Every structure is written in structure tokens, then in C-alpha cells.
Structure 1
């Protein structure tokens, strides 16, 4: 039987601490740090409120099934896990759509500028 020495898993706390803080930063940037953010995390993962609060505060990071649920619901968490695992980060469909829309807006703006210039250059 193992002696009860606390709730922390032994090891170098620095790596897990930075992981927890990075996840917290990602979740806070995406969801904020409100009560609604806790509820969203609970809905996404099935975790209890205390667990969601710990993730947002950076006290603990999600593991196992909860991490998979977060990856399923958050493109930023998904991309972070890929980067952390040294895998090529493929942009999510949402991110690709955002880039496409941004490029479309830029192309439309360029077309308008070209039309205005063409109209000014033409003698009347």
C-alpha cells in the first residue's frame, strides 16, 4: 500500500505547471474567466465545476478523456496539443474559413480600388 502524501502527482511540477497554465491561457482567451466559462467547460467535458475552475486558474490541467473533449470543442486547444506533441499543426476548418473570408474581403477591396482608379483614368 502506498502512503498518502497528498493530492499532487510526484514529479517535476514545472512541466505540468506550465502545461496547466498554457491550457488556462487558451481557455481564458477563448471563453473568458466568468461563471459562464465554467458552465461551458462543464457542458463540453462533463467535468464538475471545481475541475473547470481549476483548469481556468491553471491549478491543474485536463488529462485523458477531458482533454479529448476539449480538443473536440476548441480549435485552439486542438492546435496547442498538436504543437505540444511536435506534430504538424493542420489548421482547423473554422480557421481555414476565417482565412478564406479574410482573403475574400481583401480581394473585394482591391477590386473596388482598381475600379475607382480605372474610372478616374478614363477621360470623359
Structure 2
């Protein structure tokens, strides 16, 4: 039986704070978008959220929760990889890295074909 006092469920290991979680997701989104100007608009399209919400995620002021996190991970390999690393499942993040590499190689091959 659990004690009736306290506000949080006792976890045996260190957990992320909300601020740390927001920063990890913001870093992943920055990796995904780099310095592009349309990052917030793309996030809005992926998740159906407002412009302000997308900007808060990009700035690390707030983090997406639940469904929005899944929607971001569906579209962004960087977010998916960050989730797997936070879940202490680095072997699972390798798949996201390989997908990103495959996309980068395809883009490079397309650019080379255009040059020739």
C-alpha cells in the first residue's frame, strides 16, 4: 500500500524536471530545423497547435505533452531519438539515426543528380 502523504510517486531513479524535459525537446527541434525561419509553422502543421505554442516548444519555455509529443516524434527523427535517449533506450535511438542518415543520403544523391 502506498503512503497517503506526498504529492509524487516515489521513483527509484532520477527523473527529469519539467524544465529539463522542455530543454531536451527544444534541443531536438533545433537539431531538426537548424536555423530555418519556418520551424514554428512546420510544427503547427504537424501538430495542429498555435504559433505561440510552437514557439514555446522551440524556446524550451514549455514542452509538448502526450499526443503532441507523439505527433512530433512521428515527423521528427531528432525528437524520436531524444525520447529514446531520455527513456534510457539508446539501442532504439539507433533506428532514428539510421532513418535520418538515409534521408540525408537521398537528399545528397538528388542534389548530385541535379548537378550532372
Alignment match, 2:108 = none
TM-score, normalised with respect to structure 2: 0.65
Alignment match, 1:56 = 58
Instruction: Kindly indicate whether residue 102 of structure 2 is the aligned counterpart of residue 97 of structure 1.
Output: yes
Gaps of 5+ in 1: 1-9, 102-124
- Match among 72, 75, 79 for residue 73 of structure 1: 75
Over 3 Å off, 4+ runs:
32-35
- TM-superposed CA distance for 1:49, in Å, is 0.8
Is the contact made by 2:44 and 2:54 (CA closer than 8 Å) also made in structure 1? Answer: yes
- Match among 31, 35, 38 for residue 29 of structure 1: 31
Aligned length: 89
1:91 alignment partner, SS class: helix
Larger radius of gyration: 1
Higher relative contact order (CA 8 A, sep 6+): 2
